[in-house]
Amino acid sequence: MRHFTCVQDIGDLKEAVNEALDIKKDRFRFTALGKNKTLLMVFFNSSLRTRLSTQKAAMNLGMNTIVLDVNQGAWKLETERGVVMDGDKSEHLLEAIPVMGCYCDMIGVRSFARFESKEEDYGEQILEQFIRYSGRPVFSMEAATRHPLQSFADLITIEEYKRTACPKVVMTWAPHPKALPQAVPNSFAEWINAAGYELVITHPEGYELDPVFVGHARVDYDQKRAFEGADFVYAKNWAAYADPHYGQVLNKDRNWTVDAGKMALTNEARFMHCLPVRRNMIVTDDVIESPQSIVIPEAANREIAAQTVLKRLLTPE
Ligand code: AN0
Ligand code: CP
């Protein structure tokens, strides 16, 4: 595997999940693989889980890690080509990227959708430039349109907790005060579709996702009907995708919050969320604290997903 940005890069999903579960049994078997290799993690946005789990995964493989928070202490970066740089930005991404590549063997990039232009976001401008100009294997730590390390961890978690071969997975929109990217729901749909599970997506009108990611999933605007018989409920907020409202918050209706009454409609579904989560907006305290909630093991599997990906990136093809 040269780069990791989407589900296609990981190849056979069953094989990947089995490899991850095998790594989980003894995560310290491969410390020789990363010896004298350096991972650079570049963050254009905040992170708790991705930063810690990926760093831990790299350490499990014997790698060294460098973390750069672009917004804290680095030069302000220009990202557009052709700009006369007479403003507040001191350095261009087109120099910064190859320079970063000089100091490491692999680069992880977190760069969210900026919601300035759908074309720019869905063209994955920043991630693509790292792939093109760094000369290093690059992996996404959540880019504008996808969060594949999250989705991989989600799939590992579903594999561990599923009670039937083909569980019903329901992804529900839930309210949030700020505009959030579509990366997590896009990616989750992409991976669950690829895994071949039954997927129902429920959201208010106006929150339709890019059909490329929805695939064969069923879309239901009635959240309660969607929840019936669910084995997994995956909650997430996202801002509108469709024009002319791209990147906007259209609705903060707390009737969409996941609560115990709705969970009672399911097949004793497990509750999942990528975190960070806003309690009593996305999900009530009692649901996230209930035995049905698997948000902590889900977060723990981020380390396993990252280690599987880093191990593959370290392994010569
Ligand atoms: C981000 C998002 O929704 O994409 C990161 C989630 C992993 N969430 C927030 O910014 C709150
Ligand atoms: N789920 C996730 O990616 O969390 P962070 O934003 O804290 O990394």
CATH number at residue 257: 3.40.50.1370
Integer Cα distance of 250 and 132 in angstroms: 36
* Full residue range of the structural domain in which residue 47 is found: 7-146+302-314
Q: What's the pLDDT at 317? A: 78
Which ligand places an atom closest to the C-alpha of 298?
A: 2
- The residues of the chain scoring below 70 in pLDDT are none
Integer Cα distance of 264 and 258 in angstroms: 11
Q: What's the pLDDT at 73? A: 87
Residue 193 and residue 244 in one domain? yes
Residue 31 and residue 81 in one domain? yes
The residue count of the chain comes to 317
Q: Which of 142, 180, 273 to mutate to test the pocket of ligand 2 (most atoms within 8 A of CB)?
A: 142
Atom of ligand 2 nearest to the CA of 50: 8
Residue 138 and residue 171 in one domain? no
Query: Which protein residue's CA is at the shortest distance from atom 4 of ligand 2?
Result: 49
Residue 130 and residue 218 in one domain? no
Q: Give the Cβ contact number of residue 122 at 10 Å.
A: 17
Summarize pLDDT for 265-275 with one digit per residue, the tens. 999 999 999 99
In order of 17, 21, 22, the CA distances from 12 in angstroms are 9, 15, 15
Residue 78 and residue 171 in one domain? no
Q: What's the pLDDT at 292? A: 98
C-beta separation of 279 from 257 below 8 A:
no
Residue 134 and residue 163 in one domain? no
In order of 31, 148, 273, the CA distances from 63 in angstroms are 8, 21, 29
301 lines ligand 2 (CB under 6 A): no
Residues 6+ apart with CB under 8 A from 164: 231
**What per-residue string of b and e applies to 234-260 under the rule 16 or more CB within 10 Å gives b?**
bbbbbbbbeeeebbebebeeeebbbbe
Residue 133 and residue 36 in one domain? yes
Q: What's the pLDDT at 121? A: 97
Summarize pLDDT for 10-31 with one digit per residue, the tens. 999 999 999 999 999 999 999 9
Residue 1 lies in a domain: no
Residues 6+ apart with CB under 8 A from 181: 112, 113, 115, 121, 142, 144, 145, 238, 239
Range 131-136 contact pairs with CB under 8 angstroms and sequence separation of 24 or more: 131/3, 131/5, 133/94, 133/97, 133/98, 133/101, 134/97, 134/98, 134/100, 134/101, 134/107, 135/98, 135/101, 136/101, 136/104, 136/105, 136/106, 136/107
Residue 72 and residue 118 in one domain? yes
Q: How many domains does the chain have?
A: 2
Q: What's the pLDDT at 280? A: 98
5 Cα–ligand 2 center, Å: 16
Residue 135 and residue 211 in one domain? no
Instruction: Give yes or no for a cis peptide into 276 (omega within 30° of 0).
Output: yes
Whether this prediction's pTM lies above 0.85 is answered by: yes
Strands 64-69 and 38-43: parallel
* Interior angle at CA 122, CA 116 and CA 126, nearest 5: 80
Residue 188 and residue 119 in one domain? no
User: Residue 91: enclosing H or E segment and its boundaries?
Assistant: strand 91-92
Residue 161 lies in a domain: yes
